[in-house]
Amino acid sequence: MTGRAMDPLPAAAVPAAAEVEADEEADPPATGLPMPQDIEHRLSDSSRMQRPQGNPLLLSYSLQELLARDTVQVELIPEKKGLFLKHVEYEVSSQRFKSSVYRRYNDFVVFHEMLLHKFPYRMVPALPPKRMLGADREFIEGRRRALKRFINLVARHPPFSDDVILKLFLSFSGSDVQNKLKEAAQCVGDEFMNCKLAARAKDFLPADIQTQFAMSRELIRNIYNSFYKLRDRAERMASRAIDNASDLLIFGKELSALGSDTTPLPSWAALHLSTWGSLKQALKGLSVEFALLADKAAQQGKQEENDVVEKLNLFLDLLQSYKDLCERHEKGVLHKHQRALHKYGLMKRQMMSAAHGREPETVEQLESRIVEQENVIQTMELRNYFSLYCLHQETQLVHVYLPLTSHILGAFVNSQIQGHKEMSKVWNDLKPKLSCLFAGPHGTLTPPGSPQEDGVCPH
């Protein structure tokens, strides 16, 4: 056996323990679990993607079908004081499961970890950051919105939506939800171990999969950069609408304060006493209309935040999860495969040295380790192809979400039309009330017209 070249590796079962030996930081441990082809009869629903007849790699979802899978609401509930710090709880309500449960941020963290454990080759959206101290209301609201986007993306993702840990998270009302999630996720291996197609993933991949992967990654990176800029501009427009509401409200209050002024008029201005009194009365009444204008502007800003900015953020979260998945593929399974090959080369050199020194026991031990390492390399190769298989499907899912662009633009246009229409009505209602502000000849009050309307020169 000395100096033997590595035999072609059959597509047979490979113990998962050998893989863990190759890299302790490898994919979630699955010691004692059989290879995918040995557990075909245990195929979980989570590994089934809707596909056309023929190539299982191809998906046939529409955006409407994904959005219809579930709608999850995440609402803040009043703060509760713990032993040392206040903590925030959320009411999480699912239309699909007709459930309403209470969750803390740490419950989301455990759920996120279990998703990565079971689905390391899928798009798992990131969680918003945790802030220990000094969390103000704005931060808490921003995190609530981010958690809502996270859970809706997960609830609509095909493999995730059929998995037991999602149902547990959205419907289990017990106090030990974190332990339940860990038990459900860790009692079986990851998706690679439970998918009957995992060992044959290579057969379904196109020959130019690496080229396609590089092109898709570049395209989605460009889309992300453009939508990031669109989101920033949409945020600024919504913010300006809210600032405009505040300015209109203050403007109306100042008019009201001016109209409520009780400072007596000096005697030398007594001639204009009736005029000033009429002006004050009119100014005081205008605050109602300006408050209504402020309310309309604030409504438009909130609508743009909810219908435009949040949809842009949802799409950006999805695109970011794809970028993260690409990095996990390159830094994870490919890196581990290279490490396994490097370790195999070291073992071969050690065996050759031991054989040259004629140490039979050492040679036998190294031969056994080399066989194990060959199995590890085979598993890494299978995982690499399965990772590319999943990446190909996740790329398709990103493209399924692309029509969300039309939803976003539609919401933006509608908010502008509705906002301007409502404010225009208030402005038009306000205009006749200005007539008493303008005194004409002989004490008559007439609103000014433009020089073109009056037909006279301003002088």
Return the pLDDT at 335.
54
pLDDT in tens, 423-453: 999 999 888 877 766 654 444 445 555 444 5
User: 344 near 377, Cβ under 8 Å?
Assistant: yes
In this structure, is residue 255 part of a structural domain? yes
Q: What is the pLDDT, as a whole number, of residue 244?
A: 94
Please check whether residue 451 lies inside any domain of the structure. no
Counting Cβ atoms within 10 Å, is residue 108 exposed (0-12), middle (13-18) or buried (19+)? buried
Q: Which has more pLDDT, 127 or 83?
A: 127
Site of tokens 């609408």: 241
Residue 299 sits in the same domain as residue 396: yes
Rounded to whole angstroms, the Cα distance separating 76 from 140 reads 9
Q: Say yes or no to pLDDT of 22 above 50.
A: no
Shared-domain flag, residues 70 and 153: yes
- Give the residue among 19, 30, 10 at the shortest CA–CA distance from 373: 19
Structurally, how many domains does the chain consist of?
Answer: 2
CATH of the domain at 121: 3.30.1520.10
Each residue's pLDDT tens digit, 281-337: 778 778 888 999 999 999 999 999 999 999 999 999 999 999 999 998 888 755 555
186 pLDDT band, cuts 50/70/90, is confident
Buried b (16+ CB within 10 A) or exposed e, 45-74: ebbebeeeeeebbebebebeebeebbebeb
| CA dist., res. 307 & res. 115, Å (int) | 28
- 173 assigned to some structural domain: yes
Q: Are residues 243 and 188 in the same domain?
A: no
Averaged pLDDT for residues 248-258 = 90
pLDDT of residue 136: 78
183 and 253 co-located in one domain: no
Of the chain, the percentage scoring pLDDT greater than 90 comes to 49
Residue 99 within any structural domain of the chain: yes
Q: Average pLDDT in the 390-411 region?
A: 95
Q: What is the pLDDT of residue 338?
A: 57
Which of 172, 194, 216 delimits the end of a domain? 194
Domain, as residue range, for 129: 63-194
Q: Are residues 301 and 427 in the same domain?
A: yes
C-alpha to C-alpha distance for 90 and 127, rounded to whole angstroms: 15
- Mean pLDDT in residue range 189-202: 89
Q: Which of 338, 384, 388, 351 is nearest to 22 (CA)?
A: 338
Residues 156 and 252 in one domain: no
- Confidence band of 204 (pLDDT split at 50, 70, 90): very high
Among 194, 224, 252, give the residue marking a domain's end.
194
Report yes or no: 9 and 377 within 8 Å, Cβ to Cβ.
Answer: yes
Exposure of 84 in the CB half-sphere (CA atoms within 13 A):
2
Q: State whether 296 and 178 are in the same domain.
A: no
Residue 455's CB is within 10 A of a number of other CB atoms, namely 7
d(CA 336, CA 340): 6
**CATH number of the structural domain spanning residue 320:** 1.20.1270.60
Residue 426 lies in a domain: yes
Q: What is the pLDDT of residues 330-356, one digit of tens each?
A: 887 555 555 555 554 555 555 556 555
Check whether residue 244 and residue 385 sit in a common domain.
yes
Per-residue pLDDT at 278: 76
pLDDT digits (tens, 9 = 90+) for 208-244: 988 999 999 999 999 999 999 999 999 999 999 999 9
Question: Would you say 333 and 340 are in contact if contact means Cβ atoms under 8 Å apart?
Answer: no
**Cβ proximity of 255 and 281 under 8 Å:** no
Do 417 and 314 lie in one domain? The reply is: yes
Is 178 a member of any domain?
yes
> 169 or 348: whose pLDDT is higher?
169
Query: Would you call 367 exposed, middle or buried from its count of C-beta atoms within 10 A (0-12, 13-18, 19+)?
Result: middle
Q: Is residue 221 part of a domain?
A: no
pLDDT per residue as tens digits for the range 118-165: 999 999 999 998 876 666 788 889 999 999 999 999 999 999 999 999
Residue 401 confidence (pLDDT) above 90: yes
Q: Kindly state whether residues 186 and 277 are assigned to the same domain.
A: no
**pLDDT of res. 231:** 96
- Inside any domain, residue 412: yes
Q: Tell me what the mean pLDDT of segment 175-200 comes to.
A: 89
Position 379 scores a pLDDT of 79
Specify which residues 104 forms β-bridges with. Answer: 89
Amino acid at 246: S
In the predicted structure, residue 373 carries a pLDDT above the cut 90: no
Whether residues 190 and 254 fall in one domain: no
Q: What is the pLDDT of residue 406?
A: 94
Which H helix or E strand runs over 195? none
Task: Give me the mean pLDDT over the 60-65 stretch.
Answer: 93
Q: In 3-state terms, what secondary structure has residue 99? A: strand
For residues 250 and 172, state if they share a domain. Answer: no
| Distance (Å, whole) CA 229 – CA 59 | 30
